[in-house]
Structure formats: structure tokens, C-alpha cells
Amino acid sequence: MNLPPHRISVYTDWLARERGLHFDVSTPEGYDAMWRWSVNELPSFWESIWQFYDLKSPTPCTAVLADARMPGARWFEGAQVNYAQQVFRHADAAHAAGHPAIVFQNERMQQRGQLSELSWPELRRQVASLAAHFKRLGLQPGDRVAAFLPNTPQTIVAFLAAASIGAVWSVCSPDMGPVAVLDRFRQIEPKLLIACDGYVYGGTAHDRLPVLRGLLQELPSVRDVLLWRYLDEAADAASLAGPQRAVHDFTALTADDAVLEPTWLPFDHPLWVVYSSGTTGLPKPIVHGHGGVVLEGLKILGLHNNLGATVETGDRYHWYSATGWIMWNCQVGGLLLGSTICLFDGSPAGASKGTADWSTLWRFAADAKATFVGAGSAFFASCLKADVKPMAVADLSHLRALGATGSPLAAECYRWVYDQLPQVDGHDIWLAVISGGTDFAGAFIAGLPTLPVVEGEMQCRCLGAAVEAWNEQGEPLTDEVGELVCVKPMPSMPLYFWNDKEVMEPPGGVTARPPEGAAPALGRPGARRVGQRYHDSYFDMYPGIWRHGDWIRITPRGGAVIYGRSDATINRHGIRMGTAELYRAIEVLPEVIDSLVVDLEYLGRESYMPLFVVLREGVTLDEALTKRMREAIKTALSARHVPNEIFQVSAIPRTLSGKKMELPVKKLLLGTPPEQVFKLDAMANADCVPWFVAFAQRRAAGSA
């Protein structure tokens, strides 16, 4: 296989030539020197990313990092960008060389042996057509465009059209339940909703028009609905209209010939709202800016994932994801580099009802001629358990690299990869395991193609990410497990949480009033307001330091091991979700008085999520009630939220102030001695603790 130069090597050559900086990234010591430069000289590093990728702005940047405090750092003041502008600068060269923008397949297409390609000019034409109609419908920069769409080219067209005019994008996967969708979209008050009529998953067609009608009844801000008929070309859209709500055919609005002219926007103009669930309240509506997302995407995908413009490298990039996971955004980010991206819509376990076929994605990768295949760690664990042999069912001769994220990848999965997937240039295929988050639309820990891979360990801390492991006293640790913190800002960190109206005033005072919907106005020149919820989500434990909520160990050679969540947030098959969402779904049942759920995933262990419920007097948890609870959770939220087991208890441990003690119960069930996790004199109902202690002992003994 004729391999192109590593992108990190091209970058270090550029640094040597343009900056006189010399780094040897072929050794851990050499990379460590480069990493330390990147975090100690933040303005110089991020300016080099801008220049290396030749980003354009019609106005000059007056300061790369005008204010380095967290939260509230201000980046690239004066510069203007647009995500869509960066995407389509690659269109003509890629098309001239015969490379498509998007390769696509869904379950039904795979069964028929079909694969579709969308050319760069056609992608640009559809985006231009839709953007023109957005303007005709009255959309302005800052207006929210919500989407209820699957992982298809049409969704990317809609996103790029919104980005091109400065509208703010937000998407939920159509497999999400109405409660979960409304918990997200109601917060941002979208003006326009784009939705599909249904989808197919695991061989089953799911009609979502009834759900869509219910959503619209609860979203009075929506003035226009664009329906994409994905499941049924004859689907009736009339029932979606209302007295002040018009319905349009999505396909018709993408059919015109138009010229795309993306609007130049301030570096910190909102690009999208994504959602990361905490342990209390509604999902956090996190706002990221155009400039920060573009820079982080170029860095992590280009330098760490080794992606380049397909016209130069031949790259075809696939990361299996639903639209509700930040890895969908990451997959779309391949277009920023001019890479062909490969989308698969459907179940990774295949379309056969009742029979899992974990070779599905490998056969898609072969059809798409993918060079990079990424997925959640749970996918590779499933392939291992099912004894999948990808090379026996698919031609993977184009494959050069794999990616994994979402949860810790066990060492045996590394060995399965090396045993079952093709070697590249005489060596084991490169496995790039990354860890980051929805919260900042990027990665803290990632791979590097020039460094050795150690089973069970991620290769390096990302360039520009000042990541450390800290103890409770805020002291850095080496080769010990501690809290994952980032001690310096990154451009892709949130601008603010949408409608985070409660504000705190950091040192420096308040010098500007924020705009509507963006009370904290982070990233805006002169503004110093910090949303209280944003602050409390990341900066409450260590003032001025980003605490991510993961356990991490930095190894002496500079690698890292992620052990799982350090808070009570659920990480279910790579999808972060809040316990509060599940409580709202389960506690509406008349039999349920109280509940508590914990996720016991930890360093490669399979996710185990028990739900504890307190029932009304005289009610017993039987098979029928258990089934109703599972169905209620699945219907309101998603199948991922359904617990492994449900247990009836007499009481849920609570603090004196009435808070559910999720994290202490989680620590107890992971093996921490009870006297270290429960302060009985600070509890409202300490008499319920012995049951949980006994449950933990039975589970540890294998009998729970």
C-alpha cells in the first residue's frame, strides 16, 4: 500500500520551515516536547493551526487570545469565518480529481447491494438551494433551526445550509423519545423544524409522524416545518400544519439551482447547540462557535486522526454515529479537510430481526472503500464477543486506520483488532482511541500515527489541550488516577449555555450586556458575564480550571487511561445522558414514588445500569410492572436508557437537603468501602444504607 505522509509530519515540517521550531514526533519524548510547546504557547500554537490550514478572513485578527481566563476566554478577535465556507473551498479540486463529498448506504440499500455518492458540486447546489429558501422564509443569523433527522446526506445538507447563513443548528436523532426531544428543543425555541417521516433500524420501519405531530404541539415557536419523506414517499404532511405554521417539502426546497455565498461571521458566532446531560435538571444546551469548531476539527481530525484532503491522500472517513452523538458532528468535520465522508444509517448489528450481524459495518466499509473506520468502543467489544472475522466477509484492502471512543476500550479489544483486521504496510493496523466530549466538541486524549500503541492505553494528550490528572487538593498526579482537568482554555470550549440567565461576575466586572438567548455572551469582546450553570458544570470543583468529570491516569510515557465517569452522569454505549431525564420518565408512573439509577461502567467493564425504585404501599415489583417501566423509559427517552435490572427498595439514600446520593451509591457498587462514601450523620435516611451495602456485597460476590 502506497501511504501518504503522516499529516503530523507535514505539519512539523511546516513548523520547522516557517517558525524555526523542530520537533521529533516519532518518540514519546519528542512528542511531549511538542505538546508542552502547544500548551505553554497557546496563541502561537493556535495561530499556527490557522496558518497551516490557510484559513481565510476578510478582516484582520487583532488578537489570537485576548483573554485567557476560564471560563470566558476570547479567541481570534476581529477575524471572520464560516464553517460552510471552509467546507466548500475544497469542492472544485476534489471534484476535478473524481472524489465525491459523501458516500452513503442504509440498511435497505445494503440488502440490495446499492451505494450512493453525492458529488461536491451537487452537495454545494443543494446547500445553496436550501439556504436561499431559508432566507425566503425569513431566517436570520442567530435563529435556531432544529432537526429531527437520521445520519443521511440530507441532514448534512440541512446543517450546512443553516451554517452558511448564520442560523444556529440543533439536531436530535429520530429514535429519541418525545420527552427527550422536547427537553432539548423547548430550551432553544426553534423557528424552523426539519424532520423525517420515519426511519428503518434493525430491519424495522418506525413511523415518526405521530411523534412529530406531538412535538409540534409543544413547540409553538416553530413557524415552518420541512418534511423529508424518508420512509414513505406518500407520507401525509398536511397534519403537521397549524394556524401559524406552514409545511414544506424538504426535497423540493433543495431542487433549485442557486449560488452559495456563505455569510462571513464573527469567530465566536454560534454554530450549533448540542446537549450534554448532567445529573440534575434539563440537558445542558451547549453553544459552540464557528471558529472554535473549525480549528478544533482541523487539529483533531487532521493532525491526530491523520486525515487529509482526499485529493492528496485518498482518504475516505467513516465514523459510525447517530445524529444525537457528538461523533456525528465529528464525522461531518471530515469535510472541513476536504475528505470524502462515508455515512451508514441503520443498526451496526444488521437488518435481520432477532439475529445480530456484527459484520454489517465492515461490509459497508468495504463497499465504501473506507480508509478510516471509527465507532464506539462498545461496537468493537460486540465484534469480539460475536467472534466476527471481518476479512472473511469484506474486502478491507483500503483500510488504513481505526478509531474508537465513547467509553474505555479494553485491552482484549486491541488484540481482537490486531488479529482480525488487515495489516498496513507490514504492521498492525493503527488504532486511534480518543476521549473528549460533547461539551467542547473535541478531544483531550487521542492517537498519533507516529507514536507506539500500548494496549489499553491512549497514545497522547492532544496538542493545545493542557490536560492533567488532579487529586482532590488540586495537585497534579503522574501514573495515579485522578480527576481529568484542562488547566488552560481551548477555542472550542462553550461560548455559553443557551438561556443560562443566572450569571455570576468573575474578577474584572461586567462591561457588556449579552444578547437575547445568550445571557453569558462568552467570547464576545468586552463581555465578562459567566452563566451560573455553565460555571457550575465545569468550574465548581477547581476555580478557573475545567473539570471534565472523568477519571484519568497519565502514564510516565505520556499516554493516558480513562477509567470512566467520576460523577454520576450515565455513559451508555458512548452516549452521555443525565439521570434526571430517566427520573422524569419513570416517576410519572403512579406506582413509583422515588427512584435512583447509576451506571457502573469502569475501564472496559460492560456497562451495567441498575435502577432502584420505591413503590407505593402495597405495590410489589412484578414482571408486569417491570415491563411497563422499561417500556415507559424506552418510549419517553430511548432504548439506550433502559436499565439492565430494576430493584425495589424501601428508600433512596438522600442528603439532609434532599438530594439523591447517586455518586456515593455508584462508588459503593464499584467497591469503595461504605464508611468512605456515606456520611450517615449528613443523611436524611441513613437507615436505608444497609440494604445498599448488602446489595454491593452480593454483587461483588457474584450473587446479586
pLDDT > 90 in the chain, percent: 74
How many angstroms separate the Cα of 609 from the Cα of each of 569, 643, 701? 11, 5, 18
Q: What is the pLDDT of residue 179?
A: 87
Long-range contact pairs involving 692-697 (C-beta distance under 8 Å, separation at least 24): 692/649, 692/653, 692/665, 692/668, 693/668, 695/647, 695/669, 696/668, 696/669, 696/671
Higher pLDDT, 297 or 528: 297
Region 385-409 average pLDDT? 91
Region 356-369 average pLDDT? 97
CATH code at position 696: 3.30.300.30
Check pLDDT > 60 for residue 138: yes
pTM for the model stands at: 0.86
Region 367-378 average pLDDT? 94
- The reply to whether omega before 153 is within 30° of 0 (cis) is no
Q: Please check whether residue 91 lies inside any domain of the structure.
A: no
Three-state DSSP string of 607-672: CCCEEEEEECCCCCCCHHHHHHHHHHHHHHCCHHHCCCEEEECCCCCEECCCCECHHHHHHHHCCC
Region 378-385 average pLDDT? 86
Check pLDDT > 80 for residue 469: yes
Scanning the structure block, which residue is given the C-alpha cell 462514601?
677
Region 220-238 average pLDDT? 96
Of the listed ranges 383-397, 500-514, 548-562, the one predicted with least confidence: 500-514
What is the per-residue burial (b if ≥16 Cβ within 10 Å, else e) of 43-58? eebbbbbbebbebebe
Task: Supply 567's cell numbers.
Answer: 460523577
Q: What is the pLDDT of residue 566?
A: 73
Higher pLDDT, 276 or 287: 287
Q: What is the pLDDT of residue 570?
A: 75
Q: What is the pLDDT of residue 304?
A: 98
Region 193-206 average pLDDT? 96
Region 144-155 average pLDDT? 98
Distance of CA 442 to the CA centre of its chain: 8
Amino acid type, 218:
E
Q: What is the pLDDT of residue 524?
A: 38
Q: What is the pLDDT of residue 7?
A: 98
Do the Cβ atoms of 438 and 284 come closer than 8 Å? no
Q: Please, what is the angle between helix 579-586 and helix 623-636, to 10°?
A: 120
Region 638-655 average pLDDT? 90
Structural domain tally of the chain?
1
Beta sheet of 460-461, edge-to-edge order: 435-437, 442-446, 460-461
Q: Out of 33-42, 474-483, 576-585, give the one with best mean pLDDT.
A: 33-42
Higher pLDDT, 71 or 587: 71
Check pLDDT > 90 for residue 494: yes
Region 341-364 average pLDDT? 93
Element (H, E) at 345: strand 340-345
Do the Cβ atoms of 554 and 560 come closer than 8 Å? yes
Region 588-599 average pLDDT? 89
Half-sphere exposure of residue 242: CA atoms within 13 angstroms, side-chain side: 17
Segment 511-530, tens digit of pLDDT: 333 444 544 333 333 444 68
Do the Cβ atoms of 518 and 287 come closer than 8 Å? yes
Q: What is the pLDDT of residue 704?
A: 47
Region 115-141 average pLDDT? 98
Q: Please check whether residue 543 lies inside any domain of the structure.
A: no
Q: Please check whether residue 244 lies inside any domain of the structure.
A: no
Mean pLDDT score of the chain, rounded to an integer? 91
Residue among 48, 26, 25 at smallest CA distance from 38: 48
Q: Please check whether residue 414 lies inside any domain of the structure.
A: no
Q: What is the pLDDT of residue 681?
A: 67
Region 380-397 average pLDDT? 93
Q: What is the pLDDT of residue 508?
A: 42
Rg of the chain (C-alpha set):
25
Neighbours of 292 (CB within 10 A): 28
What phi and psi, each to the nearest 5 degrees, are found at residue 51? -75, -40
Scanning the structure block, which residue is given the C-alpha cell 459495518?
361
Region 597-619 average pLDDT? 82
Check pLDDT > 50 for residue 110: yes
Region 558-576 average pLDDT? 75
**Residue 579, domain extent:** 574-700
Check pLDDT > 80 for residue 9: yes
Do the Cβ atoms of 145 and 398 come closer than 8 Å? no
Q: What is the pLDDT of residue 355?
A: 86
DSSP string, 267-284: TT-EEEEEEE--SSSSPE
Half-sphere exposure of residue 363: CA atoms within 13 angstroms, side-chain side: 22
Kindly provide the residue ranges of all beta strands, DSSP E only, lying in 447-502, ordered along the sequence. Answer: 460-461, 467-470, 476-477, 481-486, 496-497
Q: Please check whether residue 694 lies inside any domain of the structure.
A: yes
Q: What is the pLDDT of residue 277?
A: 63
Task: Supply 600's cell numbers.
Answer: 457502573
Check pLDDT > 50 for residue 403: yes
Q: Please check whether residue 343 lies inside any domain of the structure.
A: no
Task: Supply 135's cell numbers.
Answer: 432566507
Higher pLDDT, 585 or 370: 370
Check pLDDT > 90 for residue 538: yes
Q: Please check whether residue 39 lies inside any domain of the structure.
A: no
Do the Cβ atoms of 597 and 609 come closer than 8 Å? yes
Q: What is the pLDDT of residue 549?
A: 87
At 224 the three-state DSSP class reads: strand
504 Cβ contact list (under 8 Å, min separation 6) = 530, 531, 532, 535
Neighbours of 701 (CB within 10 A): 8
Band (pLDDT 50/70/90 cuts) for residue 505 is low
Q: What is the pLDDT of residue 584?
A: 76
Check pLDDT > 90 for residue 1: no
Check pLDDT > 80 for residue 510: no
Amino acid type, 522:
L
Amino acid type, 330:
C
Q: Please check whether residue 278 lies inside any domain of the structure.
A: no
What phi and psi, each to the nearest 5 degrees, are found at residue 408? -60, 140
Check pLDDT > 90 for residue 574: no
Higher pLDDT, 434 or 412: 434
Region 433-454 average pLDDT? 95
Q: What is the pLDDT of residue 503?
A: 72
